Every structure is written in C-alpha cells, then in structure tokens.
Amino acid sequence: DSGVTQTPKHLITATGQRVTLRCSPRSGDLSVYWYQQSLDQGLQFLIQYYNGEERAKGNILERFSAQQFPDLHSELNLSSLELGDSALYFCASSAHGGGSSTDTQYFGPGTRLTVL
C-alpha cells in the first residue's frame, strides 16, 4: 500500500458528461501528479501540483483540469467526455516538488474510467 488513495475505484459514464476524480496524497507529501494509462497511448503524465500551485504540465487536454486544495488533496476534472478518454487515471504523490529525479513518486491504485 503506497499510502495514496484514489476515489472512486471505477467510474462508468456517458459521452459528453463531466466527472471528478479525487486523490489524497501520502501524509506529508506536498506534490500530486496525475497520469493517464490507456492501451493505445500507454502511461502519460498529465499535470503536477505542488503545495496548491501548478508546477508542471504534460499532455493534458483542455477539456481536463485539476486543482490541489489547501488540505493537499487533488481533484482531476474531465469534461465533455469522449470514448477515447476511457482509461486508468493514476495519482501519485511525492514529498517535494522536484519531479521524479529528486523525489520518489508513490502511485495510488488508480481510477478506471469507462466512457460509453
């Protein structure tokens, strides 16, 4: 158990809808990262937040947004959902904000999103 929690575990929704995925980092960790894992695109970095502020951005679509709250939990909002958004979404956390080279990332168990 990495200490990172994600809810919900599974989510099934329809095209055009909006969903929110939630992540609670390990106790004391200040950074939260979001990743998308799909069969055709593999594992992709979406975005990083550090202590409430956006730190780094990857291949995140404009329809997707994230935020990190004062209690350090994070939410990933996915809107105008398309079939291709079906994937596993992972959250990871680390103690500081330097990226994986200076700061081990611990991954949560993921949220499986299915868009019908």
Partner 1 sequence: QQQVKQSPQSLIVQKGGISIINCAYENTAFDYFPWYQQFPGKGPALLIAIRPDVSEKKEGRFTISFNKSAKQFSLHIMDSQPGDSATYFCAAEYSSASKIIFGSGTRLSIRP
Strands 10-13 and 111-115: parallel
**Which residue, 88, 72, 75, is CA-closest to 35?**
88
14 counts as binding partner 1 under rule CB under 8 A: no
52 counts as binding partner 1 under rule CB under 8 A: no
In the bound complex, what is the minimum distance in angstroms from residue 51's beta carbon to partner 1?
14
| 19-48: contacts with partner 1 (CB under 8 A) | 42-45, 48
What's 96's DSSP letter? S
Residue 80 or residue 114: which is nearer to partner 1 going by CB? Answer: 114
105 counts as binding partner 1 under rule CB under 8 A: yes
2 counts as binding partner 1 under rule CB under 8 A: yes
CB within 8 A of 41, min separation 6: which ones? 87
In angstroms, rounded to a whole number, what is the distance separating the alpha carbons of residues 90 and 37? 8
The footprint of partner 1 (CB under 8 A) covers 2, 4, 42-45, 48, 55-56, 58, 90, 92, 97-102, 104-110
